[in-house]
Structure formats: structure tokens, C-alpha cells
Structure 1
Amino acid sequence: MSKLPLIVAPMFLVSTPEMVIEAGKADVIGSFPLLNARPVEECAKWLKQVKENLPDTPWAVNFICHRKSNKRYEEDLKLIEQYQPPIVITSLGNPSEAIDIVHDYGGLVYSDVATVNHAKKATQTGVDGLILVCAGAGGHGGTLNPFSFIRAVKQFYDGAIILSGGMSTGADIAAAKLMGADYAYMGTRFLAAEESNAQEEYKQMVIDTTINDIIYTNAFSGIHANILIPSLLKQGIDPKTLKSREDVDLSHLVNVKAWRDIWSAGHGVTTVEKRETMKEIIDQLTKEYELGVSSFV
């Protein structure tokens, strides 16, 4: 069996230690945002749980580098230093401090980027890999075409490339490899997983919706994100009335109450048709990937 070159993306308020552990058991890289576990003592328990269950398997955490947004910035850095996750995925800020800590214990740092200029800045900090957030990604998605984005980045960077945006099948993963990516980065496909912390109604909405039910807007945080239109309608919000936000407000990273019922998904949502376990999803992706790779030979 071919090893599946996949990172299960860290999903805000959704990813759990159980998802990471089950991904690791299936020989792919799982991840969770550190801010999913609150308070910091709970986060320490999550890290301990994953580390004990996956002592020899790569796994990852997502660390928000934006000091003003992440009120736990210093505490999260200390957790990283203490529990030494093999991979740290950095978002929304300068990853330099995290890089120093992670490299000191031999770990890797991958930074997510949505533009070529952002990618160039990240490479200057010494990251080990770039997560190219392309059009169709769940959460804070980008706008660039993946073919063009990979080609542009490879002109100045020879580190690991992780491709994100709209992928939901094993064939997509095979295509990402053919394009030059080292890993595919997939979140939406796992939203309705049994081990996911998404609300039951959220999981059902993901199953019931398609790409036509997604709106790309910066109305909520000032950073564009792909949002499920039915979740807005459920809250009495008319998508037609949404206005562009001029300032960047990432307070939802701390005060999550308002975001518990505004739900995100990527363009790959159409593929999610039923409730499955992490193992079942990864087994299916692996079969599709092997079939896709064999078709390229």
C-alpha cells in the first residue's frame, strides 16, 4: 500500500486529539489548533494524550503567531517547548520565535501562506515547509490557482510544499503530487467524521450541502473565508447584505461564542455524503490515491 501523502488540516473548534490519533494510526499526519483546547491546562492534556498514543508517528499542532489575536501566545509557545510536537503549523504572523523553539528540539515548522509575497517572507524566516492556501480552502481561503501558485513558489523555494484548497478525494492527492506538492492538506473531507468535534447539525449541513452553498466573504473577520450559506440563514443573516470589513478582527480566536454557529467549509464539501470514521475516510482516500497514481504510470 502506498503511503498517503496527506496532512489532515487543523480545523478551528472541530479538530480533536482523537482525530489526530486516528489519523496517525492510519499513517497520515493529523493536527489540531492549540486554541481548540481551553484553558491552557486542557491543551496540555491534549498534547500529552496525542504524544503518548503516537510516540513514533508524526503529528502536528497549529500555532497562531499573531500576538494581538492569540492571547495565549506565550503560554502556547511554552506548551510547544514542553511537549515537542513533531510539526508546528504557524498562521497569521511571524513564525520566527516558534521556529527557534521547534528547531531546537528537532521538529519542523510549516507556515501557511496565501500569496507569493507572503510565501517569500515566510521563507526568509527559515520555515521547513510552506502550506499554499489556494482558492476553495475551508476557513480563511486564498484566491490563487494551485498550478500557478506552486510554479511561482518553486522558482525561489526548494523546501516542502503542502497544497491546500478544495481537495477531497485520493485522486486529488495524486494530482497534487504530480503538480509538485509533497503533501495534500485536507480539512473539509473530515468535518463530518465521527471523531470530529463539529456540532451534529454542522455535520449534517456539510453532508447536505454542495459547492453552490458556499460564500467567500471577509465580512466577519476582515480576512476572506469560505462560509456555509445555510449556517448564515439559520442565524437570520442574509448573505446578500454582507459588507466588506475594512479592519481585521480576529477576536473569534479568543471569544468563540459567535463562531459556534457560523460554519465554514471548503469547495470539497460536495464529496462529503455520509458520516464515517477517520479510518474509513482515510481507507477510501488511500484506494482512490493508489488508483490515481496508477493512472499516471
Structure 2
Amino acid sequence: MLPPILQNLRIPVVASPMFIVSGPSLVIEQCKAGIVGSFPALNAREKDGDPIQLEAWLTRITEELDQHNQDNPDQPAAPFAVNQIVHRSNARLERDIEICHRFKVPIWITSLGARTEVNEAAHDCGGIALHDIINNHFAKKAIEKGADGLIAVAAGAGGHAGPQSPFALVQEIREWFDGPLLLSGAIATGRSVLAAQVMGADLAYIGSPFIATMEARGTEEYKQMICDSGAMDIVTSSLFTGVSGNYLAPSIRNAGLDPDNLEKSDASKMNFAQGSSKPKAWSQILGAGQGIGAIHDVVPAATYIDRLAKEYADAKTRMAKL
């Protein structure tokens, strides 16, 4: 059974935290529209001497969602989540954990390492912890270290995607784990959300389609590239961060590289000291998942979520007739 905080969503969707793209405006609109909105803590960056950006973001999100709930008691906003990159190169982790604990962040998403102390901090302030994994081995380690649920990042997901089929990954996890399970990987329609549930996941984890929304913090070029591209335009490479990830071929060409002939790299190159695992030389290499073929226009996040909800309801009706 899902924990209470995840039980009353409009549709079973969590919006994934995306580097640069996810910020307060997008998170607020996602939550108001009835799905979990999220952002990476490392997106909130300030210059030396400036007020702490993460505190400002959390203040804005909590105040605006609280006001929405007061104005709409019959349609309260969904909860929000903050993603913590749990990697040894993230020098901000301890500070960001303290801030999220102080603000009582309801959902904590951890990536690139399972850490007991992060899960304990989430629980201590009344939150839950979800950890993203790419295989069954890492799934078991995450639960052993106190995570409440898992995000199965399967083949086709944007960013640091796993190599396994969602069928195989969900199947192996469900042999031993009956807790909250989210599925990530090429999910862009309400039909795909229902399919994820049929496979055994509780919720869908959707990222790339939200790049092409008005509230997203990506450039207009990035948003248009999402609309103009499809699954064939996604390239898997370890060159840019040291870990296998999915990227838009047009952005690779724009950087003067051949997407069909990319060198390999290794995980020792990964460094989050500057907020991203990508060196500055690759800052214009744009991530995306294989589901973007369903995205053709830049729209408000609420409009896209309305579409997801209708497609999801229509798919359930269709399945009931089979």
C-alpha cells in the first residue's frame, strides 16, 4: 500500500527533478494540477555572500501551495519533493539536508548513492524517502539503508538512465518488494502511466515532457528541440558525465560532435561540485528520454497534466471493455 502522502494524487504521477529545468514555478504548477512536483536541491544556487537560494525556493513553494490549499479546500495541491544528489562530490549535501529537514520537506528523492543518514533525516521531519535505482542489486541496497520506496529508472529514461527493460526491472523488484515503486523511462502519455501500473509499478515518474512547458527553466531552443525530436533522436553515451545517459542528438551535433561516434568515459569523471555532473565543456549537451515523440508543443504544465489525466481515464475505460 502506498503511504498516505501518495494516495490522493489526481493521477499516479511524480514529476522527476531535472537539472536546470525544474524550479519553483514548475513545481508549484505541477502540485496545483494534482501530481507531485520536484526539483534537485542543486538547482538552487547562489553566489557567494547572497541569501541561500534553497531556502528562498522552499519558502515560496510552501507559501504558495499553502495559499492554494486555503483557497481550494476541495482540491488541495499534491505534495512536493526535493532531490538530493548523494554523491561524494556534492559538498552541499549536509547543508541541504539540514535546510530540507527544517522546512519539513514531505518527499525526499535520493540519487547516486543510498545513505542511511539522509533517509533518517527525511523520517525525522515526517517525510518519506524514495531512492532511484537502475537494477535489482541497487534496489535491495536502498531498502536495506532505510528508503521507503524505489524509483526504477529503466531504459529510455532521460539523463542517467538504466539499461534494463522496464518489464524486467519491475518484475525482479516485485519478487521481493511490495512497497512504493515508481517507474521511469519513456513515459509521456496517460496510456503509458496506466501501462506502468499494469506492469506492477504504483506510480509513473515523468521528466522530459515537462521540459517543453512554459514554466520550465530550460531555454527556448531546448524546449523546441524536445518538440521537434523523437525516440530516434536520443543518443546513449557515457562521454559527457562518465555514466551512461540519454541525450538529444541535435544538441550533440551543435557542439561539433558526431552522435554516432562518441568516445566512452568512466564514473571517475563524475563531479557535482558545480551543481552538475557535466563538465562546462558539455554544458550545451541536452538530456532527454525516448518518450518525447509524444510532445509537439510548448504548453503550460497544467495543460499537459490535463492531457495526461484525460488519456489515463480513457485508457482505463478502454481496458475495462477488453
Give the alignment's TM-score, normalised by structure 1: 0.95
- Picking from 147, 152, 164, the partner of 1:132 is 152
* Aligned match of 2:73: none
* Aligned match of 1:46: 57
- Picking from 198, 202, 207, the partner of 1:182 is 202
* Aligned match of 1:9: 16
Instruction: Give the Cα separation in 2 of the matches to 1:247 and 1:216.
Output: 15
Are the structure 2 counterparts of residues 247 and 131 from structure 1 closer, same or farther at C-alpha, using a change threshold of 3 Å?
closer
Matched AA of 1:278: A
Instruction: Give the Cα separation in 1 of the matches to 2:65 and 2:58.
Output: 11
Contact between 2:9 and 2:35, CA under 8 Å: does it hold in 1? no
* Aligned match of 1:18: 25
Deviation (angstroms), 1:248:
2.9
Pairs within 5 Å for 1:256-275: 256=276, 257-275=280-298
Deviation (angstroms), 1:281:
0.1
Deviation (angstroms), 1:292:
0.8
Matched, 1:36 2:56: no
Q: Which runs of 5+ in 1 are unaligned?
A: none
Matched AA of 2:306: D
Matched, 1:284 2:307: yes
Instruction: Give the Cα separation in 2 of the matches to 1:102 and 1:76.
Output: 12
Matched, 1:206 2:231: no
Deviation (angstroms), 1:259:
4.5
Q: Between the two proteins, what is the percent identity of the paired residues?
A: 40
Is the partner of 1:142 in helix, strand or coil? coil
Contact between 2:151 and 2:182, CA under 8 Å: does it hold in 1? yes
Contact between 1:235 and 1:261, CA under 8 Å: does it hold in 2? yes
* Aligned match of 1:90: 110
Pairs within 5 Å for 1:213-228: 213-228=233-248
Instruction: Give the Cα separation in 2 of the matches to 1:246 and 1:136.
Output: 20
Instruction: Give the Cα separation in 1 of the matches to 2:309 and 2:113.
Output: 34
- Per-residue displacement from partner, 1:75-99 (whole Å, max 9, x unpaired)? 1111111111110000001231111
Deviation (angstroms), 1:253:
5.7
Contact between 1:71 and 1:254, CA under 8 Å: does it hold in 2? no
Q: Which runs of 5+ in 2 are unaligned?
A: 1-7, 70-77
Contact between 2:242 and 2:266, CA under 8 Å: does it hold in 1? yes
- Picking from 231, 242, 245, the partner of 2:265 is 245
Matched, 1:60 2:74: no
Contact between 2:136 and 2:173, CA under 8 Å: does it hold in 1? yes
Matched AA of 1:97: E
Matched AA of 2:42: L
Deviation (angstroms), 1:229:
0.8
Is the partner of 1:79 in helix, strand or coil? helix
Matched AA of 2:177: Y
* Aligned match of 1:296: 319
- Picking from 165, 173, 182, the partner of 1:162 is 182
Instruction: Give the Cα separation in 1 of the matches to 2:319 and 2:267.
Output: 46
Are the structure 2 counterparts of residues 145 and 241 from structure 1 closer, same or farther at C-alpha, using a change threshold of 3 Å?
closer
